[in-house]
Structure 1
Amino acid sequence: MRIVACALAALSLAACASVPPVPNARPLNASHIEAMGPTPVTVSENNIGVGKAWLAQDSSAAGASQGMLGVLFAVAFDAMMNAGPSRRAGQAADEVAEVMPVDALNASLVEHFRRQAAAEPASGVSISEVKLVQRRTAPITINDNVEVASSYLLSEDATTLKVTVDLSYTNPALPYVTPYTFEEAPPKSELSGPLYRNTFTWYSRQLPVPVLTPELRERLIASIQDSARDASGALRPKARTHSRV
């Protein structure tokens, strides 16, 4: 029975793999835009603010080839190597939050949408209003609204900001109909979902490295020392080095 179940699972996976992939984006056509008319925009509140990225250590592939002990060693090694960068990244994100808190980010995004709505578009969807909604208490899907969700990520060297914005539009009166043809039945992902969907990613220009002035040098030293402190505020002991005789 177990062999039969495995065989059926393999066949189902093969069937899924045979379905050609479709783009994530779902554009609007002229008839959709005309049917939508003036449409409100709902901006989801970002509750995190600017996050910090770093190159994480991942030895899982190498550890998997060495059996169970290799996997355990790889996990422990990665946790040790990522602890310091992760903690420093969190501190950097906290420093950014002091300069640009999440409420200011949300207000700025809404204000820019309202400015765009005030200017009559030459073509495309017209915006009737722009509102800010807390998704934790709002419905999962807000029908007949262009839903906007944003995320912000600072690069490891804190010189580039990545902004990702997800947009979608759902309206039961305008159900999504897949424009693609399939040899067999279309996948479930193409039978429902939003009429419009797209993701936009923007990268800021890389900030130049500041000139190392005496004042900046002192600030960097203080920042490094602060990053090297443990939870109690004490400096971590230096790592011991061993030499062979």
Structure 2
Amino acid sequence: MFETFDAAAYGEGISNIYDAPGYCLEDEEEAASFLYQTSVAVATDVANYESIYGCSVSALELGIGSGRVARPLAQKGVKVVGIDSSPAMLAKLPRDEMITGYLGDMTELQDLKEEFCIVFCVFNTLALVANQEDQIKVFQHAAKYLRPGGRFIIQLDVPDPAYMARSEWITVHNIKESGVEIGVCQHDPIGQVLDFQLMQLSDQGIKMSPARARYVWLSEIDLMARVAGMHLDSRAADWVGGQFGKSSQQHVSVYKKA
């Protein structure tokens, strides 16, 4: 396991490949549609919405990265504010009046001046907050910046107990004529922590991209929401409302602020 780890190192290490075809789930359009519908539903729950809040439908993304989801969401008319710890990822964010990105830590949000219809954290970004106490802080900050009745939306993998029984493993992610990507992982089952190295080997040399993640069991994540003053509103297997069940590999969970 890493002796120390800088959370910003993950975004810095993968910024060159993050938007490449096949790296992410390529579900940004489905995600944007779901987030748009949810944010509008929150807005319409509030009488005289714009006269009260003085702005259009808005969202806060925790871990905005290069704007993979923020871009299509903004195109639907939602103003997006985003936080990310990686300067390299933020440098790829579109310069747009509908999208504002800030360099920062999602566990230490102090200076935002507004409340939002939704706060969202997608593609396992919550797991990159690598200890339980800080994950609880993410929920607390989300609740703080949500309007009454607002929603906190999370997309996470479902931990596989059989997979997590191992202490270490190696995975080949991509093989090309020009190189190969190999992932190496060590597992701390007590802390629920995974330390990764993504190694990109090519004729240009070797690039190492470290990451640390903490997986979260469903009962645990629901309790974090309750601690922060929210409750589970819905849970699906994907952005298009697939039924969540025991064989689901990921979940899209929506938490409502009282």
Q: Given the two structures, how large is their TM-score scaled by the length of structure 1? A: 0.28
Between structures 1 and 2, the one with greater helix share:
1
Q: Which one scores higher on RCO, CA 8 angstroms, separation ≥ 6?
A: 1
Between structures 1 and 2, the one with greater strand share:
2
Give the structure with higher Rg (CA). 1
Q: Given the two structures, how large is their TM-score scaled by the length of structure 2? A: 0.27
